[in-house]
């Protein structure tokens, strides 16, 4: 598995927002691109929406 330097920097920035996503966290970090990072980092997710499910669906 290869990763770019961007994955390292984006992944470090997203450790806190991706907290509680469980088994999805490695996939969320690996699939991240500029647009996904911007959407997930700045998202205000309502309390009644599952955070990990929302963030997992953004790259799709």
What is the per-residue pLDDT for 14? 86
| Helix, strand, coil percent values for the chain (each to nearest 5) | 55, 0, 45
What is the per-residue pLDDT for 59? 72
CA-CA distance, 60 to 49, in Å (whole number)? Answer: 17
- The pTM assigned to this predicted structure is 0.70
Q: pLDDT: is 9 or 59 the higher one?
A: 9
Segments forming the whole domain that contains residue 26: 5-57
Domain count, the chain: 1
pLDDT per position as a tens digit, 5-42: 777 788 888 888 888 888 988 888 888 888 888 888 88
What is the per-residue pLDDT for 2? 65
The count of other CB atoms within 10 Å of the CB of residue 2 is 4
Helix (H) and strand (E) counts for the chain?
Answer: 4, 0
């Amino acid at each position: 598995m290869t990763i770019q330097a961007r994955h390292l920097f984006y992944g470090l920035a997203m450790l806190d927002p991706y907290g509680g996503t469980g088994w999805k966290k490695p996939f969320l970090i690996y699939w991240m691109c500029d647009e996904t990072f911007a959407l997930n980092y700045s998202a205000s997710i309502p309390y009644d929406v599952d955070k990990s499910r929302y963030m997992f669906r953004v790259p799709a």
